[in-house]
Amino acid sequence: MSNTTVQNFSYRRSVFTEGIHDGIPIALGYFAVSFSLGIAARNAGLSPFQGFLVSLLCNASAGEYAGFTMIAANAAYIQIALITLIANARYLLMSCALSQKMSSDLPMIHRILVGFDVTDELFGIAIAREGIFDPLYSYGAMLVAIPGWSLGTALGVAVGNILPVRIVSALSVALYGMFIAIIIPPAKKDKVIAFLVIISFVSSYVFSYFHLFSEGTSTIILTAAISALAALIFPRKEEEENAA
């Protein structure tokens, strides 16, 4: 085995391990949040295995909750599909942004696999990495994040109703703290990012306070508007993008 092959293997293993390392706190947060989601699945009549399977194939809190609500209301399949698509539409924007960091010759199968689990948190840690995006990083994060989400849902279905509501609600706070930890480091390095983060917080609060749109719709509108504003006011030169 040549030195180049050994070095390449060592590098790829390192990237995969970094993904696992960064995915562990996300998995813990997912476990707590999906636990409360499991209660909604239980109320919809799902078994622990069914709840586990749903979360294994769909890592989306708002989308799953909407789906469970529709199931409980005996909605038609097409209605469940549409409400889930609308609730998860913001991930289309995240996928487009992440694709810009991928190498142009990256095989389609890797793009599909990475796209399978583009969530707010996994997107956050992936987009914050410098340089060309390596899918192995996402694979490592997904390896621990997906089981955390799935097992939390299953456990929520099984025993969620036993716990007091206050305890279940308190568990979800961990995920927000973890997400803040993702965006603070790049915001400290770049004043533009820090400014955009503040604008995002304020805008999101205003939308939420006045109930202008649903959570998913608000995220899509604000993401598109703030991203367009940033591109117009703070354009990045081609040399900077290549260096990143």
pLDDT at 27 over 50: yes
pLDDT at 169 over 60: yes
209 in a structural domain: yes
Query: Are 127 and 228 contained in the same domain?
Result: no
Domain stop point among 175, 202, 226 = 175
What does the pLDDT average to over 70-97?
84
Distance CA 52, CA 9 (A): 34
Q: What is the pTM of this model?
A: 0.72
Query: Are 222 and 165 contained in the same domain?
Result: no
Q: Structural domain of residue 239, as residue ranges?
A: 190-244
Domain stop point among 146, 175, 204 = 175
pLDDT given for residue 151 in this prediction: 94
What are the CA-CA distances from residue 63 to residues 69, 83, 85, 162, 218 (Å)?
10, 8, 8, 25, 14
Query: Are 91 and 150 contained in the same domain?
Result: yes
pLDDT at 31 over 70: yes
Q: Could you read off the pLDDT of 90-114 as tens digits, one per residue?
A: 888 889 889 989 988 999 999 999 9
Query: Are 27 and 127 contained in the same domain?
Result: yes
Query: Are 133 and 203 contained in the same domain?
Result: no
Q: Is the dihedral of CA 91, 127, 209, 203 positive or negative?
A: negative
**Token code pair at residue 90:** 């913001």
What does the pLDDT average to over 113-135?
90
pLDDT at 204 over 70: yes
54 in a structural domain: yes
Query: Are 195 and 239 contained in the same domain?
Result: yes
DSSP secondary structure letter of residue 161? G
Query: Are 124 and 155 contained in the same domain?
Result: yes
What does the pLDDT average to over 65-92?
83
pLDDT given for residue 142 in this prediction: 96
Query: Are 159 and 225 contained in the same domain?
Result: no
184 in a structural domain: no
185 in a structural domain: no
**193, HSE (Cβ side, Cα atoms, 13 Å):** 13
**Token code pair at residue 180:** 């803040």
83 in a structural domain: yes
Torsion of CA 237, 183, 97, 66, to 10 degrees: -160
What does the pLDDT average to over 136-141?
95
pLDDT given for residue 225 in this prediction: 87
How many structural domains is the chain composed of? 2
39 in a structural domain: yes
pLDDT given for residue 176 in this prediction: 65
50 in a structural domain: yes
pLDDT given for residue 155 in this prediction: 92
What does the pLDDT average to over 195-212?
89
180 in a structural domain: no
What does the pLDDT average to over 153-161?
85
12 band by pLDDT with thresholds 50, 70 and 90: confident
Domain stop point among 175, 199, 223 = 175
Span of 107-111, 133-137, 210-214 with lowest mean pLDDT: 210-214
pLDDT at 145 over 70: yes
